[in-house]
Amino acid sequence: MADVAAHLGVSRQLVSMVLGDRPGPSAATRERVLRAAEDLGYRADTAAQLLRRARSRQVGVLFTMEHPMDADLVEALYPEAARLDYSVALSAMLANRTERQAIDELVGLRCEALVLIGMSAQAPEDLARVAERVPVVEIGQRTNAAGTDSVRTDAVSGVRQAVDHLVGLGHRHIAHVYGGDLPSAPERRTGYLEGMRGHGLDAYVDLVPGAYTEEAGAHAATALLARETLPTAVVCCNDQSARGLMETLLRAGRSVPGDVSVVGYDDSRAARLSFLRLTSVRQDVTRIAELTLGAVAERLEAGRTESTHVVLPTTLTVRDSTAPPRP
């Protein structure tokens, strides 16, 4: 590295930035350093590779560590990215790591586009500024930030299907553990309300505060158990919430679905666990991945500039957590 710096009359720090493929140096400086490194035999294979590659063809994916659905989506993105000759770079949001930091890291890695899974804490105008630099596709929500694309599922229809299923089994007192203002939660709440009212069950509407975590589901179950009468069925805002609710009910000696039928949302891996066998609203992660990276390719390869927003249908996967109410 010192030889390259001396040969060019530049600092070792600058050479390090170029060979480390970090942002900062201009394109002309980067090419000059890489050519010198290759000529001098310093990691010639890496230098030559970076020199030949005008584009990174790398897509950055921002996700959280909390939700199994995020992991399912990440897994689905990899093969689709490979099919389109892209690589994937991951950046996680953590309690001590902001979304802004995660985005900056991905941009610094020369990602050509960003995929944001789930919640975005960025104000629309801030996300629009990011979209001015690289294409941005949101999965699971639409912030209406200028220049962004989105792929999500029809949450209203999905939860209405869950209510229809429970009513078809004979349930009337159906509660909904809702997710507050989290991504897609308002739409899921709307689907529940429309479903109940569509069946003439306005008097049985029962909204229980919650969130997309097992802890929130457990708290909701505790609140329900404190009542004199349990609802005969509960539609949870996601599978994690449903799992927390079911485990708390079972520990309290209540049977699922004997005492309470439970429906989740996402049809994540957790829903398919043998001890849960959770009835859940399914989101097609493979199709979501295809459309997400298709939107990226349209931006990068075809030069599309207008925004696209896709809403996919959902289906209800019926398993063992729902049954007719006891007489």
Per-residue pLDDT, 121: 58
Name the fold adopted by 155-283.
Answer: Rossmann fold (3.40.50)
Tell me, what's the pLDDT at 272?
85
Mark the ranges of the chain whose per-residue pLDDT is less than 50.
44-45, 47, 50-52
Alpha-carbon span 310 to 44, nearest angstrom: 45
| Average model confidence (pLDDT) across the chain | 89
**What residues does each domain of the chain span?**
2-52, 58-153+285-313, 155-283
State in words which class domain 2-52 has.
mainly alpha
Tokens 């390869």, residue located? 301
- The CATH architecture of the domain made up of 58-153+285-313 is 3-Layer(aba) Sandwich (3.40)
118 neighbors 67 (Cβ within 8 angstroms)? yes
- Helix/strand/coil for 87: strand
pLDDT score of 67: 80
Q: What is the pLDDT of residues 35-73, one digit of tens each?
A: 787 777 665 445 455 444 567 899 999 988 778 888 999
Provide the whole-model pTM: 0.79
Classify residue 127 by burial, with Cβ atoms within 10 Å: 0-12, 13-18, 19+. buried
Under DSSP, is residue 317 helix (H, G, I), strand (E, B) or coil?
Answer: strand
Determine phi and psi for 141, rounding to 5 degrees.
-160, 170
**Do 58-153+285-313 and 155-283 have matching folds?**
yes
The identity of residue 276, as a single letter, is L
pLDDT tens-digit map of 263-302: 999 999 888 886 779 999 999 999 999 999 999 999 999 9
